[in-house]
Amino acid sequence: MGNPSKIRVAIVVSHLTIGGAEQLLLELLRHVNREQFDYQLLFLREPGILGREVLRLGFPVTTGIIRYKFDIAGVFRLVRHLKNFRADTVFLINHLNTLFFGVLAAKLSGVRICINWQNETFRKYPFHPLTMLGRRVLHLGIDYVVAAATGHGHYIANEEKIPSSKIRVIYNSVDPKRFQSKLSPIEARNHLGIPPQSPVISIVAALRPDKAHHVFLQAAQKVVYEIPEAHFLIIGDGPQMQFLVNLANEMKLANQVHFLGFQRQLGDILAAVDINCLSSYPQQETLSVAAIEAMSAGIPIVCTDVGFMKEIVIPNETGFLVPADDPGALSEKLLILLQNPVLRKHMSIEARKLVTEKLSVHKMAKGFEQLIAAAHGVMLKNESEHTNKS
């Protein structure tokens, strides 16, 4: 049972695999205010890889609430957990099953506030029109929808027909401390077996078709033609690993491209990097957490103009935007930056500054706390102290 003096927040999540939205939740939970809020995590399925890290944070956790995909009895199990916790707020991590089970359980258990944190864009579901209709109906039971960027909020209003009055924008954010390193660029390259003076370009993304790593490799081939000593880091894992390894070999890039797999500790790797890339197609990309992570380490971004990346990748300031599926445009911008260290340094400073001022996890956590507190008509303690002093 929760502490009656605190706002009790039940976080309903499907499971946490490797992905940007899942990493966001993990970072949020590392920085939440436990003095004024009581949290409980309810996993519909088993926790997953990142979910196991959440378990170590010490929150009360229940797993395996649903036994199979359409386990209607799972709604009533979830109701029981919400009532036992005496939840004031249900906080949904946007998957279809959390929306379905979470909204129904919240209404049946009489929870006052229901919030859905969305991090998807342009996704096409099986039976898409019917699925979108179902989402719109379920959102009638949602009090607030949290969007990852300003443009994302407009997208949700237009595509999902959710009233703008329900939408709040809280930018995807990271903890900059996690991506700092004591290594110099030369030391970091030595660790990776890369010659100390070689320029290094990275991509951090799950190895899935929508991330378009083949476009990154095509651009890499063009860069190597101009700068043979360039090296490329592919950081991530996924179903396309063997395909991409084979492609790199066919393109005679085996010596320049390093497949590093999934990495939890990125700081010492990013210390070796000059430029970070995002080569994604529009499907599902919203506001890339991986790009923000690299920016927090002072790395300029060359990124396809997808999702709402234009809100953080500012041409000639923090990076460059290029059209999707255009390796020529991608390689052109990479070469401009590799051949212009002054511009690269300027972008490095601006990228780090943008994360510090706008995309810090502390700002994100405070945004959620203020939203939940305001929904209950409560003022956060530090805000109350500030008001009294004023």
* Maximum Cα interatomic distance, the chain, rounded to a whole number of Å: 68
Nearest alpha carbon to residue 120 among 243, 231, 283, 239: 283
What's the pLDDT score for residue 23? 83
DSSP 8-state assignment for residue 282: S
Distance CA 145, CA 371 (A): 11
Regarding pTM above 0.95, the answer is no
What's the pLDDT score for residue 22? 81
DSSP 8-state assignment for residue 354: H
Q: pLDDT tens digits, residue range 30-40? A: 999 889 999 99
Owner of token pair 């995909």: 69
Distance CA 147, CA 66 (A): 27
At 337, list the tokens: 């930056």
What's the pLDDT score for residue 17? 77
Distance CA 213, CA 264 (A): 20
Q: pLDDT tens digits, residue range 189-227? A: 999 999 999 999 999 999 999 999 999 999 999 999 999
Distance CA 28, CA 125 (A): 28
Q: Do the Cβ atoms of 51 and 16 come closer than 8 Å? A: yes
| Neighbour count for residue 78 (Cβ, 10 Å) | 26
Coil, helix or strand for 255? coil
Please give the domain boundaries of the chain with CATH numbers for all domains: 7-173+360-389 (3.40.50.2000), 176-358 (3.40.50.2000)
What's the pLDDT score for residue 382? 67
What's the pLDDT score for residue 385? 43
DSSP 8-state assignment for residue 360: B
Q: What single-letter amino acid sits at 72?
A: I
Residues of the chain with pLDDT under 70: 1-4, 18, 122, 382-390
